[in-house]
Amino acid sequence: MSFTNLDLPESILSVLSEQGYTEPTPIQQQAIPSILAGRDVMAAAQTGTGKTAGFTLPLLTKLKDGPRARSNHIRALIITPTRELAAQVADSVATYGRNLKLSSAVVFGGVGINPQMMKLRKGVDILIATPGRLLDLHQQNAVKFNDVEVLVLDEADRMLDMGFIHDIKRVLKLLPAKRQNLLFSATFSDDIRALAKGLVNDPVEVSVAPANSTADKVEQSLYGVIQGQKTALLCQLLRDRGTPQALVFSRTKHGANRLAKQLEANGFLAAAIHGNKSQGARTKALDDFKRNRINVLVATDIAARGIDIDLLPLVVNYDLPHVAEDYVHRIGRTARAGASGHAFSLVSPEETKQLRGIEKLIGQTIERLEAPGFAPVDLTKRSPAAAKPQGRQPSKRTNRSAAGKPNGNRAGQPGRRSTAKPNNRQN
């Protein structure tokens, strides 16, 4: 099938041709006709499947001939969980709609609100927003929802994970009852279906991949290594592979900062991206990575959600995630849009429980590799140190290994994410 078979206007088809896109992906083939027909849609699609174009292309088509937005009003609303994803979606809207007389804007927290209010004063056809900043703007009468024709919830599963359910429900109450609703999620979990009951009306369900499947073209492998040797092994592997770019996942913000500094000390051009970084720093790091000014970007899971980089060859799990599903999202950053890619993990004996959960989820055993100069590590069972109780110990002496170093997890090591509502809106 060609894009010309999807009833898209020539103004959009010409842009697709310039971008080198000729055939729609499966999610685009299934979602675009239903959206153009005015149906509500629930779409389950893994990252890298082309889902953003799956809703932006028909959205632009539907809005192109209508009346322009009134002052402080919007015609379409796209809600995303993170600043980075909001920026990515805004780029797609601007790119695919550059031949159309439609206005768009993106708003999120962490930056000044006044320029965003000024942009909205003239009215915006398509607004891309994170939940907290959207409600702030509404409370200040900077944006009004009376004219909203289409609502898109992008990566709805991640919004639930991040505790935005209350904000989402507040927004839904403010929108006109008569509107088209599009819900995109990695999976149709029970929580997503519960959210959908109050959102979509007689929806068309679209699913292009089995739940929690990994990209077919991602070559997966792992190296068993003791925790203290992970950085040395990572540096060796990056040098040996000669990979131009790598996205490296750290479990914690502090760990991401530390690893980026260690990589720089070893001659790599590296930067960290996470929730504690200012929006300016996050935007700069991502832009530098896209433009090859840095070759290693160290990220936490939430900060990396929405990173959309074509031809990213390598993803590295420096730490395994606590939640197995996050492994799927991580490695989906590579092998996008039909390209191939590789993902390898550095797994310590303390992470065998997470490893078993990941392999059970994806239904396969990840290939074990060994690196020259690094002793093989048995990952079939947890190490004695990892098996020790993690609570408070009777004394400092009893909580130290023979080498005199503390055992157990560091303070503040996160577990499964809470779904409680965040106290701030820096999203």
Check if the beta carbon of residue 234 is closer than 8 Å to that of residue 346: yes
pLDDT of residue 415: 40
**Spans of all domains in the chain:** 3-207, 218-382
**Phi and psi at residue 201, to the nearest 5°:** -120, 115
pLDDT of residue 152: 97
DSSP string, 293-322: S-SEEEE-HHHHTT---TT--EEEESS--S
What is the architecture of the domain spanning 218-382? 3-Layer(aba) Sandwich (3.40)
Q: What is the pLDDT tens value at each position of the chain, 427 positions in all?
A: 889 999 999 999 999 999 888 899 889 999 999 999 999 999 987 666 788 999 999 999 999 999 999 999 999 999 999 888 899 899 999 999 999 999 999 999 988 999 999 999 999 999 999 999 999 999 999 999 999 999 999 988 888 877 888 999 999 999 999 999 999 987 777 888 888 888 899 999 998 755 455 555 789 999 999 999 999 999 999 999 887 889 999 988 899 999 999 999 999 999 998 877 777 788 788 888 888 899 999 998 766 665 666 668 899 999 998 888 788 878 877 766 556 689 999 999 999 999 999 998 888 899 999 999 998 898 876 544 444 434 434 433 333 333 333 333 333 333 433 444 444 444 5
Locate all alpha helices (DSSP H) within 105-251, ordered by sequence. 114-121, 131-139, 156-161, 165-174, 190-197, 230-241
Closest to 64 in 3D by CA, of 119, 4, 9: 9
- The whole-model pTM stands at 0.63
pLDDT of residue 278: 76
pLDDT of residue 212: 54
Check if the beta carbon of residue 421 is closer than 8 Å to that of residue 168: no
Residues 6+ apart with CB under 8 A from 100: 11, 12, 60, 64
pLDDT of residue 390: 40
DSSP string, 68-94: PPPTTBEEEEEE-SSHHHHHHHHHHHH
Tell me the CATH number for domain 3-207. 3.40.50.300
| Run of H or E residues at 385 | helix 384-387
Amino acid letter for position 388: K
| Dihedral angle of Cα 289, 295, 298, 302, to the nearest 10 degrees | 30
Same fold, 3-207 and 218-382: yes
**CA atoms of 341 and 17, how far apart (whole Å):** 25
